[in-house]
Amino acid sequence: MLGIGLTGSAFAQSSVTLYGIVDQSIRFTNNSNAANDNQVQLTNGAITNSRWGLKGDEDLGGGLKAVFRLESGFDPQTGKLNQGGRLFGRYAYVGLESQYGTLTLGRQGTEAFNFFGDFDPLTVGNYTANSWPFFMTVGRIDSAATYAGQFGGLHLGATYGFGQQPGSLSRNSSWSVRASYDLGPASFGGTYQETRDLSNNIQRMWGLGVKYAAGPATLFAGYLGGQDGTGTVDEALNDPSRTVVTGSPSANQRRDMTFYTGVTYQATTALALTGAFYYDDMHNLNGYAANNGERYAGVLLAEYSLSKATQVYGTVDYNHVSGGAYTELPGKNNQTGVAVGIRHLF
């Protein structure tokens, strides 16, 4: 990280930090299209998407600070911007921080996304194959006001996304909350959120998470529930190569019941090993009543630190779908991915 500080009688004490991650992987996937061909590709990182950003603060006195963050996601293999080509598609916000918490305004993560970033053994992966359960969290939203506070072991968060629609406070809006508590080696908590589309249909999700540190190992378990009348979860999870005819998501709301568990193990100072398993029981897929299905995935990850800033890694993931969930894979009902990569932090 590159830090730049300004001090002096004419200026309040302030700092700006340039930071980022460049992460590239070589990935093999079988059953990668409708013809079930194999694919080898150079792609973004398995766990940490590449990004660069600027963040800073200014001491306003009396324990109050002004803070900001601008963060851009990109694909190193092409140089293209992520998040639909946005310059700062990951985060773009400004706010105030005090002993009572931090209030920020701008593009930010939903509280469910923030919550599972702490309670998923992979910290929410970067391939669809290792992050699909968390598509229900929506991820990041525009025009959001967020409060985050920590009081001892208690962590709190609340976010409201303004719909920006004339004549309506609810259309296209979002709200979410989270709470967790650290109790010795254990942490546990929950989250709830609602997101509305332009027609005022609602996508709801809720979840619980727990983790426990035992020596060099940390154990994880969690649950995500969802009810979607907007069709956005189906749209996000359906494989982009498939042509899917949809029914009525508002009349036949998709329901998800997802469970996961996993463990991370610090085998040596340099070597970290992670295993995770995810399972989802789905109902009313793609807007059709009784169109049910299941999906599960297993992920193994080994990361080795060459230095404080550079790691190499290898990962294997396996996904299987059944019933109406067949649309979430491009060909057969299963897919295996193997990847090796390198990650550098600055």
Asked if residues 54 and 91 have their Cβ atoms less than 8 Å apart, the reply is: no
Q: How many CB atoms lie within 10 A of CB 302?
A: 16
Asked if residues 260 and 297 have their Cβ atoms less than 8 Å apart, the reply is: no
Q: Is 88 helix (H, G, I), strand (E, B) or coil?
A: coil
The CATH classification of domain 2-345, taken from the options 3.30.1960.10, 2.40.160.10, 3.40.50.300, 2.70.70.10: 2.40.160.10
Asked if residues 327 and 242 have their Cβ atoms less than 8 Å apart, the reply is: yes
Model pLDDT, residue 7: 44
State the Cα–Cα distance between residues 131 and 214, nearest whole angstrom. 25
Nearest to 148 by CA among 100, 89, 182: 100
φ/ψ of 234, rounded to 5, equals -60, -45
Domain borders along the chain are 2-345
Between the CA of residue 169 and those of 69, 197, 237, what are the distances in Å? Answer: 27, 12, 28
pLDDT over 60 (residue 6): no
Q: What is the pLDDT of residues 137-171, one digit of tens each?
A: 999 999 999 999 999 999 999 999 999 999 999 99
Tokens of 244: 């899917």
State the Cα–Cα distance between residues 110 and 112, nearest whole angstrom. 5
Record the pTM. Answer: 0.94
Asked if residues 173 and 199 have their Cβ atoms less than 8 Å apart, the reply is: no
What whole-number percentage of the chain has pLDDT above 90? 96
Q: What is the pLDDT of residues 255-313, one digit of tens each?
A: 999 999 999 999 999 999 999 999 999 999 999 999 999 999 999 999 999 999 999 99
Asked if residues 49 and 38 have their Cβ atoms less than 8 Å apart, the reply is: no
Q: Tell me the pLDDT band of 13, cut-offs 50, 70 and 90.
A: confident
Between the CA of residue 262 and those of 58, 76, 128, 135, what are the distances in Å? Answer: 40, 30, 18, 19
Asked if residues 316 and 126 have their Cβ atoms less than 8 Å apart, the reply is: no
